[in-house]
Chain A
Amino acid sequence: DSGVTQTPKHLITATGQRVTLRCSPRSGDLSVYWYQQSLDQGLQFLIQYYNGEERAKGNILERFSAQQFPDLHSELNLSSLELGDSALYFCASSVGGIGDEQFFGPGTRLTVL
């Protein structure tokens, strides 16, 4: 699959725990974006990385962190999880910066019990 991939598809965990979501961008794309989609908040931009460096920051909580590795894959770490963190987390990638067409992954559904 040459598109954006995300693992795992589903994740169920308990409050207070920590999880890591993984994203592999399309081949050739240098930017990776993370979004959170919850029922009451819609699609919220969290953070963008470009070629390993943080480029843009949205409504990302301090309990959340992300990084982009030299092979350009990215991980989103969510810690001290709360019930309200239950959501669909999307990753997207683009060739260049934030104004470029973004290609979305299938998402990871996180359920915090």
Chain B
Amino acid sequence: AQRVTQPEKLLSVFKGAPVELKCNYSYSGSPELFWYVQYSRQRLQLLLRHISRESIKGFTADLNKGETSFHLKKPFAQEEDSAMYYCALNPYNFNKFYFGSGTKLNVKP
């Protein structure tokens, strides 16, 4: 069963516009959620995780257990934010790790 859903394969926004990358998960217990990012010609790397509740590069993500979502947001997109973004889930008490299919963010000048 699909555990992590990222409905948008591609998201294009203009520089300075707000951006929201959607992530929904299916898990009834307590999840641990992450956003990983892959910039062009770089390795996949952690952007942020919900338990740290911090803002990284202006991005934030809030876990909404009611809607089972963990959307990634940034109020003003920059061209350097263009990358592939993956939402990931580690269900507590299950030794598994699930990645979403990814969303390619393209920030246009």
Task: Please determine whether chains A and B interact with each other in the same assembly.
Answer: yes
Select which of B32, B46, B49, B97 is within 8 A of A33 by beta carbon: B97
Pair count A-B, CB < 8 A = 44
For the complex of A and B, list the 5 residue pairs with the smallest distance between their C-beta atoms, beginning with the closest: A56-B95, A43-B99, A42-B101, A104-B44, A45-B97
The interface residues of chain A lying within 8 Å CB-to-CB of B100 are 42
Per the bound structure, the CA–CA distance linking A54 and B32 in Å amounts to: 21
What is the 8 Å Cβ interface bit string for chain B, positions 31-48, against chain A (1 contact, 0 not)? 010001000000111100
- Taking CB atoms, residues of chain A closer than 8 Å to B46 are 101-102
Residue pair A43, B90 in contact (C-beta under 8 Å): no
Given A42-B101, A98-B90, A101-B49, also A56-B96 (CB < 8 A): yes
Could you tell me which A residues sit within 8 Å of B by CB distance?
3-4, 33, 35, 42-45, 48, 55-58, 90, 92, 98-99, 101-106
Shortest CB distance A18–B (Å): 26
Most buried by A among B43, B46, B90: B43
- Closest chain A CB from B4 CB (angstroms): 9
User: Is A90 a contact partner of B44 (Cβ separation < 8 A)?
Assistant: yes
A98 to B88, CA, bound (A): 12
Residues of B within 8 A of A (CB): 32, 36, 43-46, 49, 86, 90, 95-102
Which residue of A has the minimal Cβ distance to B49?
Answer: A101
> What B residues does A48 contact at CB under 8 A?
95, 97
Bound CA–CA A55/B96 (angstroms): 9
Q: Which residues from B are CB-within-8-Å of A35? A: 99
26 A-B contact pairs sorted by A residue (CB < 8 Å): A3-B43, A4-B43, A33-B97, A35-B99, A42-B99, A42-B100, A42-B101, A42-B102, A43-B99, A43-B102, A44-B99, A45-B98, A45-B99, A55-B95, A56-B96, A56-B97, A57-B95, A58-B96, A90-B44, A98-B95, A98-B96, A98-B97, A99-B90, A104-B43, A104-B45, A105-B43
Nearest-neighbour CB distance to chain A for B41, whole angstroms, equals 10
Expressed in whole angstroms, the minimum distance between the Cβ of A100 and any Cβ of chain B is 9
Chain A residues near B49 (CB-CB < 8 A): 101
Of B45, B96, B97, B98, the residue contacting A103 (CB under 8 A) is B45
